Structure 1
Amino acid sequence: MEKWIQKLMESVFDKTAKKSMETSISGKSKYLSQKIEEDFGFALSDRNINRYYKGYITREKKKIKPNKATLNALAGYIGYCNFEDFIRKNETGEEEVIRKFSAQTSRLYRQLVISFVVNIILIGGLLFFISKYYKKNCMIWIDDHYEKIRCSGLELETGLNQQVLEKFKKNSDH
């Protein structure tokens, strides 16, 4: 992406140098600012244009990455629909393949992450349901003692009481 911004800036400032009668950077920046506002209705300050020039052309200052709207306006100034159009029309066949592959890889990665998260949630919910459903939380009297069972709504089942389960047995001596 940085490479394309660099190429765009070079093209923009080459065109500005040819079209503008101004010789100073400040004058060219004002010209470009006015031209972009007139032609595209996009307000881009001459100070920002000056910063882009000093970052991308003379490398006097640190590069400041323009936002998407600014990139689109600058691409429009040199005759393209938008920044993506500028890239598409200037990339080599190999670069196009790499860009498309990268976009597809990014999409697949995002889908994989979403799929993984959804599967974890589903498996977690399933395990929770199974543990609750199969847990023996009730007891029922069988012959002479209580036995743990899974709650099923049987008439004679009661809620599990561990003390009663362990200690309450019918005495076989009587």
Structure 2
Amino acid sequence: MKEAIIKEIVEKVFEKAKTECPKHSRYALSNHIAEFTSISAKTIERLYDKYLEKRGSIGDQNEYTINDLCKYLGYNSYADYVKQNRKSKISINVNNGGEKKKWKVLVTVCLVLVIGLILGLSEKSKEPKCMVWQTDHYERIECFTINNKIIIPLDEVRLQNFKKVDVDLTTEFFEETTGKPLIWYYKNGNTIEFYTSPGLHPVNDKTLKAVTEHIIEKYVPLHTYEESSFAE
């Protein structure tokens, strides 16, 4: 029998006795335990001294004494105590191992997400923060002057949606259900330009106007001058 297990058994025996006996002195507890076992009170006191007080010189305990203490705790024998408590410890270790594994996975996933977010923000911070008008659309560019062109702060919506377009009578000028305009224009003399979004003219900052039926009738050609636009 292992001394560590015997010490554990003795400690549990006295813990149980404290819940049953009104007095918690060494003498009272030992006598209480003796009443429920075939072990003498003196022997139980010596066990108390050795394993709880860590004093005294009691020798190794025989199997009968330890078995009797285990029966007081509700086990069939010392072997039964070891067997059942070993199962409990294995179960606890397995559960703890599973919990630790879950935490490791969770921490790893969070770490990957954080690193990904940092890298994403880092890459995004490297992207140019300005844009410039190029013929019929905006292009992303670094924020410095180039060829005397107007450099403006980056506007993702305008970058993606604002374009200069050619139109003809097949162009969809108005939203079908609401009638809201889908094309805007800028007119200077006999010159007219059409754009896909409202706002300011990309070169002279003049306000664009929503297309009207009058503008369409007067300035929009019946067809484009491409071979594909003519009927055969």
With a CA cutoff of 8 Å and minimum separation of 6, indicate the structure with the bigger relative contact order: 1
What band does the TM-score fall into relative to the shorter chain?
Answer: 0.3 to 0.5
More helix by share: 1
TM-score (norm. length: structure 2): 0.36
Compute the TM-score of the two structures, normalised by the length of structure 1.
Answer: 0.47
Larger Rg: 2
Greater fraction of residues in strand: 2
